Structure 1
Amino acid sequence: MATLCRPAVAVPEHVITLDQTLALARSLHADHPRLPLALRLIENTGVRTRHLVQPIEEILRHPGFEARNRVYEAEAKRHVPHVVHRALAEAELTARDIDLIVYVSCTGFMMPSLTAWLINQLGFRPGTRQLPIAQLGCAGGGSAINRAHDFCTAYPGANALIVACEFCSLCYQPTDLGVGTLLSNGLFGDAVAAAVVRGSGGTGIRLEANASHLVPDTEGWIAYSVRSTGFHFLLDKRVPGTMEPLAPVLAELADRHGWDASDLDFYLVHAGGPRILDDLGSYLGVPPEAFRFSRATLTEYGNIASAVVLDALARFFDEGGAAEHAKGIIAGFGPGITAEMSLGRWTAPAGSPTRARAGARTAGGPGIGRQRAAQDAALAGPAR
């Protein structure tokens, strides 16, 4: 079975805090009739800091879609190689060992995809397959894991590289003044991430099953309106309630596999906002602590779109993983409304440092094992 190895995650160097976000909203939208509601919603997201690919002054200027897309391409080429190299090292592979690159991004556009540049610049074989995914938004991270799993199942022994590149700040639109948009301006952050799915061997989550689900007649709830000024984000007020139809789907997937979704060892899910996590926990019957990795991502980085599930997974690794064969679920939610879900078991070769940490955590309670500062510095280089 395919194994999802430790991800590498990096964020840009420009930081905006919650207090700065609220102050900007008060300054820019002082006359907005629903400003108090927007401010309250932003505060309730739980986001405390976000990282931006440009200084906030540059983002607020909005020089136009063409200029922004140039920034997207340049910054992708600056940041992505760091996480790719680290992800390959974590999987104990080289670029020549990779058979498929799945590139996920919904915040900029390139053709050919960045996959072509990566193959040319980072030493991947010319025969490496390319799978760019754009229109699944925040569900893209889960989809990338599932498509990599499918590929490694179809081609036993093959290896896949997942890359998520999300610069959500480049989608800021100063003329969009709906409450949902104002909330989004305080919710989304920028990040890049990469992870390898090994067809054999490796430490991480041994993927066993995956599934997709589209909630009927919800395609307008999360969407882009593509205009001359770029991507205009549309967010329906019904989105926070989407766990009511989706939680049973996750439970059904687990049940088909002979598992109980309310009694798993780990949960790595997309953190669209605190209510998503609260509702999912309530419907599945699991405590809030079960989603601590996703909540930490939301607090420290904001909603980083398709990179959320990879960052939550990295935090899971930082804590030491779990006991051998521990069962868990990974899920990403996005436009459609779409859920991309996978089930897997933790596996670590005997004698590996990760397995030793997991054993210590199991014996002595939750461990800290946090190495974010050192890891971030190693991953991001000049981008941190």
Structure 2
Amino acid sequence: MNVKITSVAKQLPRFTRTTEEIIPYLKGWLSGQEERFQRKVIKIFENAGVDKRYSIMDAHEVFSNTSFEEKNDIYVKESIKLAEAALQKALQKAALNPADIDYIITVSCTGIMIPSLDAYLINKLKMRRDIVRLPVTEMGCAAGVSGIIYAENFLKANPGKRAAVIAVESPTATFQLDDFSMVNIVSAAIFGDGAACVILSSHQDDKGPEILDKAMYHFYNAETMMGFKLTNTGLQMILDKSVPEKIAEHFPKIVHPFLEKNNLTIAAVNHLIFHPGGKKIVQTIDTLFGSLGKNIEDTKEVLTLYGNMSSATVLYVLERFMDKNLPKGDIGLMLSFGPGFSAQRILLEW
């Protein structure tokens, strides 16, 4: 009995700005900096491969002197709204009710809330009192795939059950106003906010692509490559510029043995569902898969349209494939990377 993904739905925050619209705010923030540095930063934004970013805050709030407490309060309030809307959409797509969910996983790394997001959703939607909860907070960009892996483990052990995985992220709430480092600037250029929900099922009659296999891959001694540092002004991004190189170095070990274990080669994979971490990472993966005769066009489009929304982003890519009514028997490979440093993989069959 294989677990199936029955629906995926995204939910975008209410504020949005194109890169062109953000530039004036950027110039205001950079006033007082050297002109050459200002031109460099603006070029980073213009060349980030992101046309539009969504946010839980309007641009003037992002670039204003807001305390960590104030930003986190906004994160909590808006996360609940986004998560509820994403869950309701996914339930509607699957023709289910909130009471049909046995297991709820919420993933987020861009704010802090206790009780966790799932508790609010259970109360708002009157979900079952015996629902099993799992909040995941420190997996970063990999958590969308990680959440599906955790849900699959639960459902495989419990036939006839359903799970919801909800990812809500607000990287714009982690922007550091007084930090003019390249890490803070590049992060602001590539990240945006968003939410998504995946419904999974081990009910025999439920429809959707089946999870054939899943696996995690840990990079040794790479804890400092990506993550957050908690400071007095909030969550400060950690992002090593060597990430694309490390991914390329480990790529053969991540992809090929996983497929071989399932008696497959990359040639048998019809669809690549990859987390778009940023322009350089996407270019690296595009080159690696391109050399094998594959493309990641949907991944590239998601980055262009929304930016990197951390754990939610790969679910936006997955939704595009779920909405295509793909032929029975098609194989899909999901792949994401996150703090640790680690890679998460899922093999799907339609």
**How far, CA to CA, are the matches of 1:299 and 1:284 in structure 2?**
19
Cα distance in 2, alignment partners of residues 236 and 52 from structure 1: 24
- Are 1:257 and 2:262 matched, yes or no? yes
2:342 alignment partner, one of 338, 341, 348: 338
Q: 1:273: Cα distance to partner? A: 1.4
1:310 aligned to 2:311? Answer: no
Which amino acid in the other structure matches residue 342 of structure 2?
T
* Mean Cα deviation higher: 248-257 or 130-139: 248-257
Indicate conservation of the 8 Å contact 1:262/1:285, yes or no: no
* Equivalent residue in structure 1 for 2:228, among 214, 221, 224: 224
The question of whether the paired residues in 1 share the 8 Å contact of 2:25 and 2:60 is answered with: no
Aligned match of 1:355:
none
| Structure 2 Cα separation of the partners of residues 21 and 296 of structure 1 | 20
Q: CA deviation at 1:147?
A: 0.8
Query: What residue is the counterpart of 2:239 in the other structure?
Result: 235
Say if 1:299 and 1:124 are closer, same or farther in 2 by CA, change over 3 A: same
Residue 57, structure 1, aligned to residue 60, structure 2? yes
Asked if 1:105 is matched to 2:120, the reply is: no
* CA deviation profile, 1:231-286 (whole Å, cap 9, x unmatched): 01111111222321342212211111111124411011110013322322333445
Q: Identity of paired residues, percent?
A: 28
Is 1:10 aligned with 2:14? Answer: no
Contact 1:95 1:122 in 2 (8 A): yes
TM-superposition CA deviations, 1:97-131 (whole Å, max 9, x none):
21110100011111111111111221211111111
Give a deviation string over 1:13-36, Cα, whole Å, max 9, x none. 211211233443344225256444
- CA shift at 1:87, angstroms? 0.7
CA distance in 1, matches of 2:263, 2:40: 44
Q: Is the 8 A contact 1:5 1:203 kept in 2?
A: yes
Q: Does 1:162 align with 2:165?
A: yes
Aligned-residue Cα RMSD (Å) equals: 1.8
Structure 1: how far apart are the matches of 2:334 and 2:91? Answer: 21
- The equivalent residue for 2:95 is 92
Q: Judging changes above 3 Å, is the alpha-carbon distance between structure 1 residues 247 and 35 closer, same or farther for their aligned structure 2 residues?
A: farther
| Cα distance per residue 1:339-381 (max 9 Å; x no partner) | 11110101xxxxxxxxxxxxxxxxxxxxxxxxxxxxxxxxxxx
Inter-partner Cα distance in structure 1 for 2:346 and 2:220? 21
SS at match of 1:314: helix
Q: Pick from 279, 282, 285: which aligns with 2:284? A: 279
Shift of 1:63: 2.0
TM-superposed CA distance for 1:62, in Å, is 3.6
Task: For 1:274 and 1:230, locate their aligned partners in 2 and report how far apart those are by CA, in whole Å.
Answer: 25
Whole-Å Cα distance in 2 between the matches of residues 25 and 330 of structure 1?
35
Give the letter aligned to residue 263 of structure 2: G
**Superposition map of 1:292-303 within 5 A:** 292-303=297-308
Q: 1:76 to 1:328 in 2, by over 3 A?
A: same
* Structure-2 change in CA distance of 1:261 and 1:191 (3 Å): same
Deviations 1:169-190 (Å, cap 9, x if unpaired)? 1111111111121111111111
Task: Specify every segment of 5 or more residues in structure 1 that has no aligned partner in the other structure, as ranges.
Answer: 347-384
Letter in 2 for 1:294: T
**Mean Cα deviation higher: 146-155 or 197-206:** 197-206
Q: Do the aligned partners of residues 22 and 218 (structure 1) sit closer, same or farther apart at CA in structure 2, a change above 3 Å counting?
A: farther
Distance 1:104 1:155 in 2: 22
Q: Structure 2 unaligned runs (5+)? A: none
Separation of aligned partners in 1, 2:291 and 2:162: 33
Structure 2: distance between partners of 1:224 and 1:140: 15
Specify the alignment match of 2:198 in structure 1.
195
Residues 1:62 and 1:28: Cα distance change in structure 2 (over 3 Å): closer
Contact 1:210 1:342 in 2 (8 A): yes
**TM-superposition CA deviations, 1:199-254 (whole Å, max 9, x none):** 13333321011011111111101121101211011111112223213422122111
Q: For residues 275-334 of structure 1, give each alpha carbon's deviation from its aligned partner in whole angstroms, at most 9, with x where no partner exists.
A: 32232233344578721221111111110111111110111233x232101011111211
TM-score, normalised to structure 1's length?
A: 0.85
